[in-house]
A and B are shown apart, each in its own frame.
Chain A
């Protein structure tokens, strides 16, 4: 469904915006929570999209990035009594540092090695979290206090729906700005042909590191919000399945395309829920979901979202 012109595009986006904004008035808490979960995956997918979709790096450990954000916020609130909003910059900083530590030595290598290193790093993060005292070991961090936003105590699911809705919009704007900038184009050049990108003067190692940091910071911020929404975090929330899910959402929708990534994440979060109550199928819904993924990937290896039509 290629948008024919800017006006229709704007109208569609405005309608979507209004629809999303009024939805909580009509929906029950369970449905809202499903939608919240969808938006949570959208945030993670948008963050990972900068690494995987824009730059073409393979990251198999994105869960570690949002674990770092979640634990940073959790520890600062629980152990040091910080205000949630103040933990955000720290969370971003810690995520960026972690991305440097893992990215700087590995991004010089080919992408395949990065996949293995990120996978290993994610396990290190998860196992450390399970064994350290400060992270609450296996039981994690519980009863994290929920924050206030201009006097409103964010306790209801509808509050979190709006918070994440706003975050999705912010992440989309960030993604768009990156894509249509010198920085974002350099990432696209690296993805398309690393040698040619070098030949055009792109410091490929540095730009890959920037992309990696940007993706990690978005993941970390998402993790921070996740921690206060859930009020408890434990190592189980950040295992390899989680990383694989996010990667799948990005690939399913169409790597690098923002609407595609959004649709992919939504599909990923909502589809299994739709079948939860259907008898017989309900128990095997993940099996059907897996089959569906295979069908989609065979028929549309470029992802669900269509190619951009050529402007003439």
Chain B
């Protein structure tokens, strides 16, 4: 059974998500993009959670490669799954925003392309774990390291290369009326992240216990 904290965190996160549209609706419109800019309040927290999950996966992979502890490997696998989940939200909400704001669904610029590459890397990680067979844990950990190395490149890409994507200065410069709903959504996404990663690690632990029990019964 899961500890009581996980359902409580999950319920709190979902309640915060339920209230979020009210705060987002109260936030002022952006002068050049108008209504569609409000995608920002989910798009950016989802992207930040994607990066956070990537870092958790990368650091846990380093720990697994260094010490070989099973818990690190489970944590890395859980975080990789969350990278893909939050990546889906980021990579779908972004083009919907772009279609209205830029007039195109997609631009092959540094930010968008490198984010897509990150998502593909972690999709490859999960496929490797799912179909690679025994012994792919270390190979997957190597893939996760490549993914983690990609994150700073993605973050600074908008400041270094010419792109249509908003720069990293946008969030620190938000007016208070926009800042509050943004950090509300950030908190909701962070709570969701915590609940999901704890649940996913628990699932991996239970699966390992079951595999061990079945192996003992067979042999």
Asked whether A and B interact, the reply is: no
Binding site for A on B (CB under 8 A): none
Binding site for B on A (CB under 8 A): none
